[in-house]
Structure 1
Amino acid sequence: MSKIKVIITGATGMVGEGVLHECLNHPRTESVLIINRKPYSKQHPKLKEIIHADFYDLSTIESQLSGYDACFFCLGVSSVGMSKEEYFKTTYTLTMNVAKTLSRLNPHMTFCYISGAGTDNTEKSMLHWARVKGRTENDLMTLPFRDVYAVRPGFLKATEGLSNTNPLYKYVNWIFPIGKALYPDGFCSLKELGLAMITLAIKGYPKKVIEVKNIVQLAKIPV
């Protein structure tokens, strides 16, 4: 049974670390490369790390980015308090630069982009962040990867014991079972998200925009 080699961005954030945790513990992952601006706090036999400050210019590390089967792009920022120009740069421009580089180096790669519930890929929403995320999804789909998936988690139940969990989640995780019961299409766990992305990389999926209900379905598929 073949194994996959994965690149993860954003591993020093809650979502990225949760996805990394699932990858490191999954029998179908051979190795994981994380690209961070600052060092990650843990080590693992499968794990390799590159510290790189400028995600708008990957030229100095390109030689280390070939030979990978999947990229789980978990690097992202909130639009709160940011100008429209800065949000566009850090959400669209940065993501597209990384993706274009990886598609050139790894044309057989599956690229999974962590987007968000409410993203508008018609690019007509009144919400600036939803338009920017939508444009990012749309333009990623045009790149010469094997597959591209826009993954749109909603409310995430944090994985216990990880270093970079938002402190707020310690107080709101109790809401999860209530929300899941009332609105199952809006709630999934970070564990399910990580497992779903691994499944996407190994088996693929007919839909390219992955909503919460798809995340839950994919997490249950044996790979």
Structure 2
Amino acid sequence: MRILHVGATGLVGQLVLTRLLESPQVTQVVAPARRPLALRHPKLENPVVDFDALPADAPWWAVDAVVCTLGTTLAAAGSRGAFRRVDHDYPLAVARLARAHGAQAFALTSAMGANARSPVFYNRVKGELEQALAALDYPALVLVRPGLIDGERSERRTGEAIALAASRALRPLLPRKWRPSRASRIADALVAAALAAAPGCSVITSSELG
């Protein structure tokens, strides 16, 4: 299989990339990014792109499946508009182009609470993206909805780090759906979904990732 992976530099994205490259089912991983990746591998193609002007006619869009782990935070983005561009517009643009070139499956890191009608901006953006992806008629669409992601990030997210420390301490007392979602489990779910390409739209909840 040929897999397109966007978001390969993030916490979950790096784990996904490693798993895809190690999989005997995968012959090539196309990982477009804003800058060249540090990793080199015979299976890896790493086109450098501007996500605001993606090359619609690039031959590397012709893949079997897509794994999307693109995402940021409101604090890092700096504004609601910038956050929406990264967490909604870019994934949707990638999904449209890959589908137009024949991709059959799309696996997305979404979020617990994703709902297009949510009064919470973050959850609403995630829900609107899920709705837009469903309208593209991918034969296989998997929405992975983790809670707070548990893993070691390269960048410092102070608020998230505090919340994660508290939730780790309280883990045995928390209902399963509210426990932190391990980054490794999220990566496993995304890769399995892309490789299996089970027909229809399915959701993997935080309860299944804890």
Alignment partner of 2:30 out of 28, 33, 38: 33
Distance 2:155 2:172 in 1: 20
Which aligned pairs between 1:1-223 and structure 2 lie closer than 5 A? 4-52=1-49, 54-59=50-55, 62-66=58-62, 68-80=63-75, 82-107=78-103, 109-120=104-115, 123-158=116-151, 165-167=154-156, 176=168, 179=171, 182-185=174-177, 186-203=179-196, 204=198, 208-215=202-209
Contact 1:180-1:187 at 8 Å conserved across structures: no
Helix, strand or coil at the partner of 1:208: strand
What TM-score comes out, normalization by structure 2 length? 0.82
How many angstroms apart in 2 are the aligned matches of 1:165 and 1:48? 23
8 A Cα contact 2:140 2:200, kept in partner: no
For structure 2, the residue ranges without an aligned partner over 5 or more in a row are none
Q: Unpaired segments of 5 or more residues in structure 1?
A: 217-223
Could you tell me how far apart the structure 2 residues matched to 1:22 and 1:152 are?
19
Cα displacement (A) at 1:201 = 2.0
Distance 1:140 1:78 in 2: 21
| Compared CA separation, residues 18 and 181, structure 1 to 2 (3 A) | farther
Distance 1:26 1:184 in 2: 30
1: CA distance, partners of 2:61 / 2:106: 14
Cα distance in structure 2, aligned partners of 1:183 and 1:177 = 13
The 1:125/1:144 distance shift into structure 2, 3 A limit, reads closer
Residues 65 and 180 of structure 1: is their aligned pair in 2 closer, same or farther, counting only changes over 3 Å?
farther
% identity of equivalent residues: 23
Residues paired across the two proteins, number: 204
